[in-house]
Amino acid sequence: MPWHKAELRGDGRELVICLHGLWRSKWAMEPIARQCIKSGFSCLNVPYPSFKESLGEMVERLDGIVRKEGAGYEKVHLVTHSLGGVIARRYLETCEHSRCEKVLMIAPPLHGSKIIDWLSGSPLRKVLGPAGEFLSTESMAHESGVIAHDVNAAVIMGDRVKIPLLHHVIDEESDGIVRVDAGRVGGLSDFKVVHADHTFITSHPDVLESVDCFLRRGKL
């Protein structure tokens, strides 16, 4: 919502920037933001108009945030959910990111979403904005299949489907929205699957524990 503002909390010397997914808000990342602060980091939970901007505009927004907000910290880390991981990958590929050390992507559709494909031609796809186009499996096939080698990057995927119809649409191991294999790309230091669905994976206890381990020790 327009009145949602980025919220910086914590007094750590390293900054964690949290990015939510499509049609979500900063509240979706709040459990992770609280975990980051508990783990001794400062945390900036960033809201952004995920259904209005192009991927390039979102990347430009993230680049500006890292440059401005990360300037006073020893290191910057990214923790993302869903679309946020797609933004992070393109950011690492196209922007100067020497301040970023760790990137943890949760349920990222790095190879596109079959749900987006299924909605092709439906009015519902237009509600998703530009993301309804660039998150298709065809569009994502043109993105890099390797994460930047100079960052420590990891992925957490879910394998629980709460809506049976979505299971039939995807017809592969998934979290109901994103296939597990859609998170596998080259250059990852770690990859983990938890028993969680796409919507609530950011509050799953195993995910919060993994966020803590990855940020402090570099492994899930």
Q: Summarize pLDDT for 148-161 with one digit per residue, the tens.
A: 999 999 999 999 99
Residue 2 falls within a domain, yes or no?
Answer: no
74 with 14: CB under 8 angstroms?
Answer: yes
Residue 88 falls within a domain, yes or no?
Answer: yes
The per-residue pLDDT of the chain, averaged, comes to: 93
Residue 165 has pLDDT above 70, yes or no: no
Residue 1 falls within a domain, yes or no?
Answer: no
- What is the rounded distance in angstroms from the CA atom of residue 157 to the CA atom of residue 174? 8
Residue 189 has pLDDT above 90, yes or no: yes
Q: How many domains does the chain have?
A: 1
- Non-local (6+) Cβ contacts of 124 within 8 A are none
Using pLDDT thresholds of 50, 70 and 90, give the confidence band for residue 119.
confident
125 vs 11, higher pLDDT: 11
Angle between helices 205-217 and 30-38 (to 10 degrees): 40
Using pLDDT thresholds of 50, 70 and 90, give the confidence band for residue 3.
low
Residue 108 falls within a domain, yes or no?
Answer: yes
Using pLDDT thresholds of 50, 70 and 90, give the confidence band for residue 2.
low
* pTM for the model: 0.94
Q: Residue 188 maps to which CATH number?
A: 3.40.50.1820
Residue 121 has pLDDT above 80, yes or no: no
Residue 22 falls within a domain, yes or no?
Answer: yes
- Non-local (6+) Cβ contacts of 165 within 8 A are none
Residue 164 has pLDDT above 70, yes or no: no
Residue 11 has pLDDT above 90, yes or no: yes
Its domain, for residue 79, covers 7-217
3-class DSSP state of 65: helix
